[in-house]
Chains A and B, each alone.
Chain A
Amino acid sequence: MILALPKGRILEDITSLLPRANIHPEDAFYDENSRQLRFTTNMPDVDIIRVRAFDVATFVAFGVAHLGIVGLDVLMEFDYPEIYVPLDLNVGRCRIVVAEPHTVARSDDPIHWSHVRVATKYPRLTQRHFVQRGVQVECIKLNGAVELATSLGLCERIVDLVSTGRTLKNNGLTEVEKIADVSSRLIINRAAWKTMPQAIAPLISQFEKATTAAKP
């Protein structure tokens, strides 16, 4: 079985969770300079792959990875029907928000929006959010450094993840609307859950125990 883990933001939280779930990856996994992509673990039939967060969802949805850990933001963006989300791991907490420059926010009230142009890594999630609000939206898809979009004049608003809010502040931005709270979730491929319940169920409970143990 293959467990897909995301690079970046939440990997640190996850690496502290793995030993508590009794999954011990080989040493190379903890070596940031390692170019290895697939890692063995103490469990002979469980391997780990380390990929970009969006790709975790894709690998698991297509069933080539059987389970994975990914933020709710990614799940909301893709909304794959083939993914089960049985467990909130309570790590990687943050929120997905609409933000705009302080200067704009001073005289702007989101209630009066009828058309907005937004730069984001999450065009589908953004589209859905604004459609529900009855606001016409144009999304500009970026793959990172979304905060630059407003300072360089690409558009006036962004939709992005915020944890402490420091990056927003440093770029002269203010949060004006929260779309959702985000945390990391254990995800399982539907066909894997159905065709190998004896192997999947114990892994879910291992993660469940690790999550409960982590709660203060």
Chain B
Amino acid sequence: MATKKEGILPSGFRDVLPPQADYEAAVVARLMKHFQSAGYARVKPSLMEFETHHAVQTTGAAGGSDDNRLKLMDPVSNHLMLIRNDFTTQVARIARTSLAHHPRPLRLSYQGEALCAHGSVLNPARQYGQVGIERFGNDDANADIEVMILALEGLHALSIPEMTLDLNMPPLTQALFEHFEIAPDVAVPLRHALNSKDKTAIAQLSGKGAPTFQQLIEAAGDAEVSVTRLQSLSLPLPAKRPLEQFIETAERIIKSIKHASVVLDPLENHGFAYHSGVTFSYLTRVQGRELGRGGQYNASATTSSVQRLPTGTRRTSRAPQRLRSAGALDAEPAVGCSLFVDTLVDSCPLPIEKVL
């Protein structure tokens, strides 16, 4: 039995009481309605998966995601299974297997709870709600913009004030690392330095690439100014294409966006583990917090021949479930966006009647 010292619940967990529980449900329902009316069909992924299946769903510039998932031994199969800490990889698996036969673009939405093995000092919560959308099929700027704007309109419908859309481009960093032959043991501290805009450390770590990295850091900021600065840069050949793609998406976003200011920061890669194109996050000035994030990635099927879930769990989606052999489809481009329910609830100024 837990003693008083340990508290009632494990650290990072909490009960949500009335009326907050109702409010949270209303915020989630409002967003799901918004996504579904735009053609994003709801899926409900299994809470648990086998470890081997989860790991290979998504690939991208930085490779592998941070291993912050809770693992358990499945007493039925004697294999390690894990509880999701993110819906994106799960929805990608569904899109690549059960829904592989559906015409593209395939638009899916989801909501539910995810679990981390560890909280952080800044955010100790280990259980958190996600609401989101994933779009499978094209990797053009249209797909990015559709997802970014749809999620932003959802946030705007909740009257969340003073929002900023932050755009990043992880493949650009990857291309520059390869071009400048950054050694693997330097890559980790250099990424850390780039993410904290630490010019001193960048100069020490990046060798002959230093001026290029510095210029890109200097060019980051308010979108309209930043686009001009980025256009004037002359990058090494392998980095030219990612930068052009980034600028193209940024310019189109600046033209079509209504409810948020835009910031460009091509080298930042805050928690984008598997993304292969433009990534983005929504911030609100009032809370100084992140409302959600997303981006482009490659969704791939698993390496195993048959997709299996731990016994007793099942996947519910609108399409008839059918097991199919993976590998029939190669990786496909996808764009997704997850919004964080806790931050939304804290940032939404509306009374519950207005949310519904």
Taking beta carbons and an 8 Å cutoff, which residues of A are in contact with B?
61-64, 78, 80-88, 185, 188-192, 194-198, 201
Question: Which residues of A lie under 8 Å from residue B121 when comparing CB positions?
Answer: 61, 78, 80
Is A194 in contact with B200, judged by CB distance below 8 angstroms? Answer: no
Task: Give me the 6 closest cross-chain CB pairs, A-B, nearest first.
Answer: A63-B288, A195-B285, A191-B288, A85-B198, A84-B197, A88-B200
A60–chain B nearest beta-carbon distance, Å: 11
**Partner of A86 from B197, B270, B287 at Cβ < 8 Å:** B197
Does residue B300 face the partner (Cβ distance < 8 Å to A)?
no
Does residue B196 face the partner (Cβ distance < 8 Å to A)?
yes
Interface residues of B in 201-227 (CB under 8 A from A): 201, 217, 221-222
Is A61 in contact with B198, judged by CB distance below 8 angstroms? Answer: no
Is A194 in contact with B263, judged by CB distance below 8 angstroms? Answer: yes
Q: Interface of chain A, helix or strand or loop or mixed?
A: mixed
What CA separation (Å) do A191 and B165 show in the bound complex? 11
B294–chain A nearest beta-carbon distance, Å: 16
Question: Which residues of A lie under 8 Å from residue B288 when comparing CB positions?
Answer: 62-64, 189, 191-192, 195
What are 29 A-B pairs with beta-carbon distances under 8 A?
A61-B121, A62-B122, A62-B288, A63-B288, A78-B121, A81-B122, A81-B195, A81-B270, A81-B271, A84-B196, A85-B196, A85-B200, A85-B201, A86-B198, A185-B198, A189-B288, A191-B283, A191-B288, A191-B289, A191-B290, A192-B288, A194-B164, A194-B166, A194-B263, A195-B283, A195-B284, A195-B285, A197-B222, A201-B221
Question: Which residues of B lie under 8 Å from residue A196 when comparing CB positions?
Answer: 285
Question: Which residues of B lie under 8 Å from residue A64 when comparing CB positions?
Answer: 288
Taking beta carbons and an 8 Å cutoff, which residues of B are in contact with A?
121-122, 162, 164, 166, 195-201, 217, 221-222, 261, 263, 265, 270-271, 283-285, 287-290
A76–chain B nearest beta-carbon distance, Å: 11
- Which partner residue on chain A sits nearest B218 by CB separation? A86
- Which partner residue on chain A sits nearest B196 by CB separation? A85
**Partner of A190 from B162, B199, B201, B270 at Cβ < 8 Å:** B270
What CA separation (Å) do A79 and B198 show in the bound complex? 12
Is A82 in contact with B285, judged by CB distance below 8 angstroms? Answer: no
Question: Which residues of A lie under 8 Å from residue B287 when comparing CB positions?
Answer: 63
B200–chain A nearest beta-carbon distance, Å: 4
Question: Which residues of B lie under 8 Å from residue A189 when comparing CB positions?
Answer: 288
Is A194 in contact with B265, judged by CB distance below 8 angstroms? Answer: yes
What CA separation (Å) do A68 and B227 show in the bound complex? 28
What CA separation (Å) do A72 and B288 show in the bound complex? 24
**Partner of A198 from B162, B199, B222 at Cβ < 8 Å:** B222
Which of B122, B222, B271, B287 is the most central at the interface, judged by chain A CB atoms within 10 Å of its CB? B122
A190–chain B nearest beta-carbon distance, Å: 7
B302–chain A nearest beta-carbon distance, Å: 31
A121–chain B nearest beta-carbon distance, Å: 17
What CA separation (Å) do A86 and B288 show in the bound complex? 19
Known pairs A86-B199, A195-B288; list 5 more (Cβ under 8 Å).
Answer: A63-B289, A80-B121, A83-B196, A88-B200, A197-B221
